[in-house]
Structure 1
Amino acid sequence: MPRAALPRTTHTLATADAPRSAGVRKCASVLTGAALLASALTVTTTPASAHAAAPAGTGKYVALGDSYAAGAGVPAQSAGLCLRSDHNYGHLGAAALSPSSYVDKTCAGAKVGALTTAQTDLGIVVNGPQLDAVTPDTSLVTLTLGGNNLGTSDVGFVDVVVACSALSLTNPFGAPCRNFYGDTLSKRLDSAAAQLTDGLRKLSAKAPKAKVVVVGYPAVLPDDPTACFGKMPVTTGDLRFLRSVMGELNEKVERTATAAGATYVDTLAPTKGHDSCSASRWIEGLLPTSPAAPLHPNARGERAMADAVLRALGR
């Protein structure tokens, strides 16, 4: 379909001007995983009727979520430490839907708790509670959250991959990372799902007529872990483990969304074959060759995610 002009975007930041040094630290935290890995390479639910099917694109559209929703690293960037792109899937979707207004509240580093709690970096508020952008007149909400809950830092899955990279040196032919984490990551996802259930309930209370679309995570890793040989310093056994973790993440997010009466959009299937180890990447690798954060969608990946959302909305 023809690409309509991008609507005027409202960016909501609790702190308008975070110090430049803090911005550098934030970008560094997102990229630290890539640097470490490159070095290693060289050595209560809501009823289904709660979310009424309001016509998408006819009113206010609010985009919520983490760096996958923000389009971290994809030009052009704005919103300081939140690393928002004007070509993230929310912006691209808004261009096609032409809502009366569009508010992008996405922010890199957001965990599920960011729906109701302000994000801070070194004590500086970089993004207010994301649900603050949702008002009774909101007709469409999209969100991607949960991945950052896997890690102990604000880079989530990358945090886990860094740990797996270091552990690979202890047992290069086994699955030391799987042995190290055990069921820890699964428990973290259970906690994230419970928080997401609560967040979706609060979202519904704020905008009972809004259509809520929960967008899953794309194909970060390939089906065949041997495709990553020489590209990612993680053992084959642990690549299988990491892929299963991402699969569990999507499954639990989908189950939570469905129970809350939201629409779940699968972005895993449409991005298969374009993972971080493929020759035709829509998800960048540890050392990105296109502008994007490591192990995150590039512009083509964000376009694929936007197309999946638009298909789910019948556009």
Structure 2
Amino acid sequence: MPRAALTSTRTTARRTRRARKAMTWTSAAAGVLLAGALGTAAPAEASVPGGGDLAGGVYVALGDSYAAGAGIPAQSAGLCMRSDHDYGRLVAQSLAPGAYRDVTCAGAKVGALTTPQTDAGAIVVNGPQLDAVTPDTTLVTLTVAGDNLGTSDFGFGDVAAICSALSVTDPLGTPCRDFYKDTLGARLDSAGAELGSDLKLIHARAPRAAVLVVGYPAVLPDDPGQCLGKLPVTTGDLGFLRSVLGELNDTVAATARAGGATYVDTLTPTRGHDSCSATPWISGLFPTSPTLPLHPYPAGERAMADAVLNALGR
């Protein structure tokens, strides 16, 4: 994507006001999903019986709502919405490490790895995630950067919701691409640089740990035309959203490899099960069972866990 600054015009302002009004349903749905106790969420650490290569070691799961399985029952940790079906938990069940720490949190941007994560009222909902990484850590998985795209805690899903709202303003054009211009690419560049620095910190804190950076699944199909009539977004903006997803994964993959980590591709194993498919493992804007919009269902988290296990040779 081009890298020019977003131009503030009266037309864009009017579109933004329309988009915010049209997104009332998104805020309401998020309010229901996010209902829970506020406060600092302590790491969920559980001893896992068994042995294997990780016997006596510690597995730490870091990341955002895709890593947390946000919205999938059963939930814990208040606004972090950690699911007992998130991919980290599934990997831990298979590997049986000495201990498992899950500090993933819905809405986590890259900065949440090193600084406390707060809600809109500045209440801390999760401490710095890297605090869970210690010298005895032998495995780290991480999915993060997608939430750096959004204008709220919902990241890419928030972008898609705005695209949907803007579609009524220019049904035959690309109102969402025109609204965001190249700001998403600039945000990704910044997130990638920050992620690279955090990978160095992980290696310094846990020099024995295998570090796996897990990419994002196939939220949209390779052919965005398959979403016509299924996602309320213009044809041109469906292509725009798909290109954003591609650049997101490309940035994460390049940063992981440059930072001495293993990149885990979850897009390939989830192809054909995107939000517009006949058998979706990823939800659409209106989930048919509990999860966040454009986020994995339990089958999607299972596929992500399998990709991690395959990367580990399991």
Shorter chain as denominator, the TM-score bin is 0.7 to 0.9
* Paired letter, 1:206: R
- Superimposed CA distance per residue, residues 12-40 of structure 1 (whole angstroms, 9 cap, x where no aligned partner): xxxxxxxxxxxxxxxx75935999xxxxx
Tell me the equivalent position of 1:243: 242
Find the aligned partners of 1:178 and 1:124 in 2 and give their Cα distance: 33
How far did 1:73 drift?
1.1
Matched to 2:125, the amino acid is V
Shift in Å, 1:180: 2.1
Match for residue 271 of structure 1?
A: 270
Q: CA deviation at 1:296?
A: 0.3
Q: Distance in 2 between matches of 1:72 and 1:260?
A: 27
- Percent identity of the aligned residues? 70
Aligned-partner Cα distance in 2 for 1:154–1:194: 20
1:36-68 CA-partner distances (Å, limit 9, x unpaired): xxxxxxxxxxxxxxxxxxx95331000000000
Post-superposition CA distance 1:71-108 (Å, at most 9, x none): 01112111111000011000000000000000000000
Rounded Cα–Cα distance in structure 1 between residues aligned with 2:31 and 2:170? 20
Q: Which residue of 2 aligns with 1:93?
A: 91
Counterparts of residues 80-159 of structure 1 (less than 5 Å): 80-121=78-119, 122-159=121-158
TM-superposition CA deviations, 1:186-218 (whole Å, max 9, x none): 000000001101111111111111100000000
For residue 169 of structure 1, give the secondary structure of its aligned residue in structure 2: helix
1:253 and 2:271 are equivalent in the alignment: no
Structure 2 gaps of 5+ residues are 1-25, 34-51
What whole-Å deviation, never above 9, does each CA across 1:293-314 have from its counterpart, x for those lacking one? 1100010000000000000000
Partners of 2:260 and 2:82 in 1: CA distance: 28
Q: RMSD between aligned alpha carbons?
A: 1.8
| Aligned partner of residue 169 in structure 2, secondary structure | coil
Task: Measure the CA separation in 2 of the matches of 1:57 and 1:158.
Answer: 35
Q: Secondary structure at the match of 2:199?
A: helix
CA separation in 1, counterparts of 2:70 and 2:162? Answer: 22
**Aligned: 1:57 with 2:37:** no
Any residues of structure 2 matched to 1:194-205 within 5 Å, and which?
Answer: 194-205=193-204
Q: Which amino acid is the alignment partner of residue 150 of structure 2?
A: G
1:181 matches 2:177:
no
CA contact (8 A) 2:161 2:285 kept: no
Question: Aligned letter for 1:194?
Answer: A
Matches of 2:234 and 2:189 in 1, distance apart?
26
Q: Distance in 1 between matches of 2:256 and 2:87?
A: 19
Q: Name whichever of 279-288 and 93-102 sits farther off.
A: 279-288
Normalised by the length of structure 1, the TM-score is 0.82
Instruction: Output the CA distance in 2 between the equivalents of 1:78 and 1:248.
Output: 31
Residue 14 of structure 1 is matched in structure 2 by: none
2:215–2:263 Cα contact (<8 Å) kept: yes
Q: Which amino acid aligns with 1:233?
A: P
Bigger Cα displacement from structure 2, 250-259 vs 220-229: 220-229
Aligned equivalents of 2:99 and 2:73: distance in 1? Answer: 22
User: 5 Å matches for 1:162-311?
Assistant: 162-311=161-310
Q: Structure 1 counterpart of 2:148, which letter?
A: N
Contact 1:88/1:302, CA 8 A, preserved across alignment: yes
**Contact 2:281 2:300 (C-alpha < 8 Å) held by counterparts:** yes
Using the TM superposition, name which of 88-97 and 118-127 deviates more.
118-127
Shift in Å, 1:123 = 2.1
Q: Which amino acid aligns with 1:57?
A: L
Q: Give the aligned residue type for 1:158.
A: G
Where do 4+ consecutive residues of structure 1 move more than 6 Å? none
**Residues 283, 295 of structure 2: 8 Å contact kept:** yes
Contact 2:68 2:105 in 1 (8 A): yes
TM-score if structure 2 supplies the norm length? Answer: 0.83
Q: Equivalents in 2 of 1:139, 1:97: separation in Å?
A: 12
Structure 1 distance, partners of 2:168, 2:271, is 29
In 2, Cα distance between equivalents of 1:263 and 1:71: 21
Match of 2:66 in 1: 68
Greater RCO, 1 or 2 (C-alpha within 8 Å, sep 6+): 1
Q: How far is 1:152 from its partner?
A: 1.9
> Structure 1 residue 153: deviation in Å?
1.2
Q: Please report how far the alpha carbon of residue 167 of structure 1 lies from its aligned counterpart in structure 2 after TM superposition.
A: 1.8
